[in-house]
C-alpha cells in the first residue's frame, strides 16, 4: 500500500435495496472528486452503491446536521428519501444526538426525520412543488399532465419537485415497460434543464401502487423514496390516489402520507446497515 493513500471509514446501508455508502465528515476529511466517487460506486472493483451520502456539520440555522448526496456518476444532487432514512440510522446508531428526531439541512430544504424504532423511520419530506420554474421544466404553465414525443408516440406524465426533479408516467403494467430506454430519454430531454428522475406507476387502487424508478445519474434502482413521494403527489393532483398510499417497489414497500392542511408529504420505511468498512484511496 502506498504511503500517500488516504484512509476513509464508511458504512454501507440500504433502504429497500436502494444502497448507499455513508461517510461522516464530522470526524474525518474526505478529499473527494467525481472520479473517486465513480470508482467507489463500481460494483465490481469498488464498494458499489447507488448514492454516496455525506454527513457534515450543520450549515443552516436550527439544524442538527447537513446532508449531501452524490449519485454513482459522481455528480451532487439535491435529495434522496431512502438515503435520508439511512442517514438518520447512522446518526442514531452512532449516538450522535440525544433525541429521536433530527433536523437535517440539504441543498434546498430542511428535513425532519423521526426514529420509530431502530430500523424504521418517518421523514417529513416537505411540500411538493408543481411550479414549472421550480421543478424545473420548460413549460410556461403548470399542468396536471405534460406530453413529450418518444418514438413517434406521445408520453404523458406529471412533473413535480421534492427538492429534486421528478416526472411520473402512469402505465398499465410496469413489468412490460422499458424503464431504462424511456427513463434515459426523458432524463436527458431538453424539457428538463437539470435532468429528471423518471417514475413508472401502476395504480392498483387509490391506496396501493406499484412503482419502478429510473434515477438520473444512476439508472433504475431497486427503490426511490423521493420518487415514491413524487408519484403519490402526482397521483393525488390528478385525483387518482388517496392521502395514504402503500408504494410497492422492487426492493419492498413504503408508506407515503399526505397532510393536505400542511401540504406536506411523509415517508415511512426501513433502513438497514450492511457493514462498516475502511477503504484506501
With beta carbons less than 8 A apart as the criterion, state whether 98 and 236 touch.
no
Q: Is 80 a residue of the active site?
A: yes
Q: Name the nearest CA neighbour of 65 among 43, 87, 32.
A: 87
Q: How open is the CA angle 29-30-36, to the nearest 5 degrees? A: 160
Helical H runs in the chain?
34-41, 81-93, 179-187, 225-237
User: For residue 205, what are the CA distances in angstroms to 19, 54, 208?
Assistant: 29, 37, 5
* Residue written as grid cell 408516467: 169
Q: Name the nearest CA neighbour of 83 among 128, 22, 1.
A: 22
Split at pLDDT 50, 70, 90, the class of 209 is very high
Q: Would the pLDDT of 2 be above 60?
A: no
Whole-angstrom distance, CA of residue 228 vs CA of residue 266: 11
Catalytic residue among 137, 167, 224, 229: 224
Domains located in the chain, CATH noted = 7-126+270-280 (3.10.310.10), 146-262 (3.10.310.10)
Cβ count near 52 (within 10 Å) = 25
Split at pLDDT 50, 70, 90, the class of 3 is low
Alpha carbon 127 to its chain's center: 15
Q: Pick the range with the lowest mean pLDDT from 23-37, 46-60, 191-205.
A: 23-37
Cell digits of residue 248: 410497492
Burial of 196 (C-beta count, 10 Å sphere; 0-12/13-18/19+): buried
Q: Would the pLDDT of 51 be above 70?
A: yes
Backbone phi, psi, residue 161, to 5°: -115, 135
Element (H, E) at 272: strand 272-280
Residue 274: its pLDDT value, please?
A: 98
Element (H, E) at 7: strand 7-15
With beta carbons less than 8 A apart as the criterion, state whether 233 and 166 touch.
no
Half-sphere exposure of 266 (CA within 13 A, CB side): 13
Average pLDDT over residues 31-38: 90
Q: Is 86 a residue of the active site?
A: no
Amino acid at each position: 500500500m502506498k504511503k500517500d493513500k488516504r484512509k476513509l471509514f464508511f458504512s454501507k446501508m440500504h433502504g429497500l435495496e436502494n444502497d448507499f455508502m455513508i461517510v461522516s465528515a464530522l470526524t474525518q476529511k474526505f478529499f473527494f472528486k467525481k472520479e473517486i466517487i465513480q470508482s467507489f460506486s463500481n460494483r465490481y472493483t469498488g464498494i458499489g452503491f447507488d448514492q454516496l451520502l455525506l454527513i457534515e456539520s450543520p450549515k443552516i440555522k436550527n439544524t442538527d446536521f447537513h446532508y449531501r448526496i452524490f449519485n454513482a456518476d459522481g455528480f451532487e444532487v439535491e435529495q434522496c428519501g431512502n438515503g435520508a432514512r439511512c442517514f438518520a440510522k447512522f446518526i442514531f446508531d452512532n449516538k450522535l444526538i440525544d433525541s429521536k428526531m433530527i433536523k437535517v439541512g440539504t441543498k434546498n430544504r430542511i428535513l425532519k426525520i423521526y426514529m420509530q424504532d431502530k430500523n424504521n423511520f418517518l421523514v417529513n419530506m416537505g411540500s411538493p412543488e408543481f411550479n414549472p420554474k421550480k421543478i424545473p421544466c420548460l413549460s410556461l404553465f403548470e399542468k396536471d399532465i405534460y406530453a413529450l414525443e418518444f418514438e413517434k408516440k406521445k408520453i404523458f406524465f406529471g412533473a413535480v419537485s421534492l427538492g429534486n426533479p421528478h416526472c411520473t408516467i402512469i402505465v398499465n403494467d410496469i413489468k412490460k415497460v422499458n424503464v431504462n430506454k424511456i427513463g434515459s430519454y426523458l432524463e436527458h430531454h431538453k424539457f428538463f434543464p437539470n435532468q429528471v428522475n423518471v417514475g413508472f406507476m401502476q395504480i392498483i387502487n387509490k391506496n396501493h401502487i406499484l412503482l419502478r424508478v429510473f434515477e438520473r445519474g444512476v439508472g433504475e434502482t431497486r427503490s426511490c423514496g423521493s420518487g415514491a413521494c413524487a408519484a403519490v403527489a402526482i397521483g393525488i393532483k390528478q385525483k387518482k390516489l388517496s392521502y395514504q398510499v402503500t408504494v410497492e417497489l422492487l426492493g419492498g414497500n413504503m408508506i407515503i402520507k399526505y397532510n393536505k392542511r400542511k401540504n406536506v408529504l411523509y415517508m415511512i420505511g426501513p433502513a438497514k446497515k450492511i457493514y462498516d468498512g475502511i477503504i484506501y484511496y
